[in-house]
Structure 1
Amino acid sequence: MPVLIVTGTGTEIGKTVVTAAVAAAALARGRTVAVLKPAQTGVGPADRGDAAEVVRLAGPLTAAELARFPEPLAPATAARRAGAVPVRPEEVAEAAGKLTAEHDLVLVEGAGGLLVRFDGKGGTLADAARLLEAPVLVVAPAGLGTLNMTGLTAEALRTRSLTLAGVVIGSWPAAPGLAERCNLADLPDVAEAPLLGALPEGAGALDPVEFRARAPQWLAPRLDGRWDAARFGAGFTA
């Protein structure tokens, strides 16, 4: 798995923090890691973007951006309104491919969800995943509504013959309610893919040293961690 695409079922669900946790777990195993953010929106030229946040949390790795646009909009819309050249899926695939030459793992973090448009021709993260023949990790919220969003994302991947590596819960609450507890069993069913981790609420606010030490506890062995879905679920009674 030299390239892993990280997408979400929506925005503000912990995608960047999950990317950082995957990077930290890989680094702890002695792997070399790069993170690629194809299109960073909603930040100014001097602001810290998502790739830089991954470095802050995870530690020394290669961070790359292809473009950034000031307004917090879908990449295609933000590029158009800025009068800038948009990012194309082919550019994403080319950049990720080059990074694989010098890294064991390349994480490509999308913007928003799987089908958010990068350019005026309708290019998406899914198109980049197809070009790279890379598996996709879906970050999902824990509570109500997540089953529908996760199921739609999984269906979109299947219809494009893309591989869904699994699902990670981006923010697991300290006091989960009935919906969250039930979703531990239901998420893998609707996704038809394994649950590969759950990050605790507020993980991104941890001190980076603590974040790096704890990251493997939040992720399954497939993501270089030691989290176990059955053991985790046994701690909650639906």
Structure 2
Amino acid sequence: MSRKIAIGDIHGGLKALVQLLRRVDITPEDEIIFLGDYVDGWSDSANVVSYLIELAKQNTCIFIRGNHDDLVHRWLKTGELNEKWLQHGGQSSMDAYRNLTPEEKQAHIEFFQQMMNYYIDKKNRLFVHAGFTNQHGPQNEYHDTGYYWDRTLWETVLALDPKMQKSNIYYPKRLQLFKEIFIGHTPVTRIDETTPFHKAGVWNIDTGAAFMGKLSAIEVNTKEVWQSDPIYKLYPNENGRN
């Protein structure tokens, strides 16, 4: 039976991704939805992208665009440098791309260009890296950047009174639009969680792989969770984004 697997922010941790997919026991029948931020952090950013390009030839893969992916894409395509990007993992990606040929870099540029800002499946479940701000849904956003930079959706979820019913006039409209929402972007380790966190129909799958956490996957239908080892243990001589 085919499965629908959502995977959180990878941040250059190829060793963790390979380990995680082995634990999930991925088959060609499975659909894999990657929630973005494939790069910036650990030393394998370029290798992660190369690996995903090959994986997509064997599996049905959906690649959501993350904010770090957008920054690396801009740098690869135009040479655009963002100082804050360099301070938050960008330098590791620049170092990782030094060994790639021009042809390989072009393939990566095309990979980044083809990413989706969001994906809605047939069961009305939304997959997006960060969120959206328009109360009528992501299809009505005025600016693409919200999909991979917005934190207000997550902040709204955390601030919401769990006793509030959806019928309440003050219940956030954004949280009424979909059966479920799957996001990454903000590590749940910031609220002292180590596994995918669920509240108000939103699942945050970012378990801090960029820092001291693990890379996580969840089966969207059954909610079975798999995790890698803490990534810093797989890259003992590196600091990631710490």
Could you state the TM-score of these two structures normalised by the residue count of structure 2? 0.32
Q: Of Structure 1 and Structure 2, which has the larger fraction of its residues in helix? A: 1
Could you state the TM-score of these two structures normalised by the residue count of structure 1? 0.33
